[in-house]
Amino acid sequence: MEKILDRFLRYVAVDTQSDEESESQPSAAKELNLLKMLRDELCTFGVEATLDEWGYVMATIPSNIDREVPAVGFIAHVDTAPDASGADIKPQIIPDYNGADVPLNGVPGLLLKVEEFPELLAHKGETLVTTDGTTLLGADDKAGVAEIMDTVQYIVTHPEFRHGEIKIGFTPDEEIGRGVVKFDVEKFGADYAYTMDGGDVGELEFENFNAASASVRIQGSNVHPGYAKGKMRNALHIAQEFDALLPVSQRPEYTQDYEGFFHLISLKGTVEEAQFSYIIRDHDRAKFEQKKRVIARCAEFINARYGEGTATVTVKDQYYNMREQVEPHYHVVEKAVKAMEMAGVKPRIQPIRGGTDGANLSFRGLPCPNIFAGGLNFHGKFEWVTVENMEKAAAVIRNLITLYAE
């Protein structure tokens, strides 16, 4: 049997960074390299698995119980975030972590500091896996992938393990908000499911942000700067003015818990034209709608000041808070709590300050809370995970299967 660490290291060695500029699905062809690998590994285990044209791997492990029990699914995404390189990852493995700062040896002088990331201290004595400082690690969400595959390996090598029908799903493009756009819930066939895509051990989430994107275009007017008085409208300055209209206190760096935000994520342009974009987030649907109205009013103000057509805003909803879809099936949360307790893990139910594929799946009729995968500091060079976290997550999956079988 392959150890979960070895499996995880195999998966992070495959570059699967998604591409937010691409219109195809999967957004990057290289995502298919790992998806094909997973399909083939499932088939090698004797599990019926398919990979469709959209990049979805789906597999079924038939029930070995002679009565009807709910079909439960487990889902993870294979892509890594565009925020940092996912190529040529060189993980550092630190057995029996001693609680000290960790040098990230790919960048001289760069440290994973306990002062900045005190969560490390809760994992003294464990086997820590970090980046070398030049890339992200890919625990988001290849830790989840490894945990699900470790469970499949356990089931096929332990025929005495009692279980109902189990559904496995691996998806592309979660990091760019398109993870389950074409996911066929009916074909997947689960009654309930869980995404293995959370953070530190014990995290359990069934409510997330309502989310939208806002793209802003500023049309300026460029003339020779020596003769610009009363004529030039510098799009870059107007863009700065637009951003200054939004409340500073509602930026991500000043918010926590249930507080929403406006997050400026890109800005490019010239005197003639500027383009920039935001993501808008709030757990409360009414406050979320209000934030979208604020963005629209900013454009109205700019147009009143500089002329109609100066500012153009396009707002697109991305996903909604799954809580309203999961609460009517609250037993899926209760089972996850019990499964964690059975694994010696203290559950921590908290809102996701982000989103998961489970949010969109929940709105399409598949209640799908999110369970910890064990990693922290996702999307950057300070990402890390411990082997023990992954092992506990795999144990939670097995416990959930047992609870549904009962």
In the block, tokens 């300055």 appear at: 237
Domain that holds residue 174: 4-207+321-405
Supply the DSSP symbol for 113: -
356-402 pLDDT, tens digit per residue, is 789 889 999 999 999 999 999 999 999 999 999 999 999 999 999 99
One domain for residues 161 and 308? no
**Per-residue model confidence (pLDDT) at position 139:** 97
One domain for residues 338 and 203? yes
Pairing of strands 192-198, 72-77: parallel
Collapsing DSSP to helix, strand or coil, 117 comes out as coil
Q: Residue 243 and residue 239: Cα distance in Å, rounded?
A: 6
Q: Residue 204 and residue 343: Cα distance in Å, rounded?
A: 14
> Helix crossing, 139-157 with 4-12: angle to 10°?
140
Are 364 and 220 in contact, with CB atoms under 8 Å apart? Answer: no
Boundary-marking domain end, from 269, 299, 318 = 318
Boundary-marking domain end, from 303, 318, 333 = 318
List 174, 205, 282, 383, catalytic entry: 174
Boundary-marking domain end, from 295, 318, 341 = 318
195-205 pLDDT, tens digit per residue, is 999 999 999 99
One domain for residues 281 and 345? no
Residues of the chain under the 50 pLDDT cut: none
One domain for residues 247 and 287? yes
One domain for residues 100 and 193? yes
One domain for residues 293 and 327? no
The reply to whether 96 belongs to the active site is no
Residue 397 CB: number of other CB atoms within 10 A?
A: 25
- Specify the number of domains making up the chain: 2
Sequence-distant (≥ 6) Cβ neighbours of residue 114 within 8 angstroms:
99, 100, 101, 120, 121
Element (H, E) at 141: helix 139-157
Which CATH number goes with the domain that contains 299? 3.30.70.360
Which CATH number goes with the domain that contains 370? 3.40.630.10
Adjacent-strand bridge partners of 198: 372
309: left (phi over 0), alpha (psi -120 to 50) or beta: left
**Per-residue model confidence (pLDDT) at position 302:** 98
**Per-residue model confidence (pLDDT) at position 355:** 75
One domain for residues 138 and 100? yes
One domain for residues 246 and 232? yes
For the chain, how far is it from start to end, CA to CA, in angstroms? Answer: 27
The reply to whether 79 belongs to the active site is yes
One domain for residues 299 and 333? no
One domain for residues 286 and 392? no
What's the predicted TM-score (pTM) here?
A: 0.87
List 79, 141, 205, 207, catalytic entry: 79
One domain for residues 129 and 30? yes
One domain for residues 190 and 87? yes
**Per-residue model confidence (pLDDT) at position 58:** 98
**Per-residue model confidence (pLDDT) at position 381:** 97
